[in-house]
Homo-oligomer: A and B are copies of this chain.
Amino acid sequence: MRQRGRNMQAEVLAALRRCGAPMSAYEVLDQVRDGNPRLAPPTIYRALAALIERGKVHRLESLKAFVACRCERHRHVPIFSICEECGTVEEAVSRDITNELSRIAGQSGFAPARHVIEVHGQCARCESKGAPA
Contact = CB atoms under 8 A, between A and B. Distances in A.
Interface string A104-133: 110111111111111111111001000001
> In the assembly, how many copies of this chain are there?
2
Given A61-B62, A90-B108, A108-B124, A84 B113 contact: yes
B92 A109 contact: no
A3 interface: no
A100 interface: yes
Given A62-B61, A90-B108, A108-B81, A113 B133 contact: yes
Interface in A47-65: 61-62
A110 B97 contact: no
A94 to B, nearest CB: 5
Contact of A113 (B102, B109, B116, B120): B120
A121 B111 CA distance: 5
A83 interface: yes
A123 B111 CA distance: 6
Contacts of A121: 105, 110-114
A14 interface: no
A132 B39 CA distance: 37
A112 B83 CA distance: 9
B117 A117 contact: yes
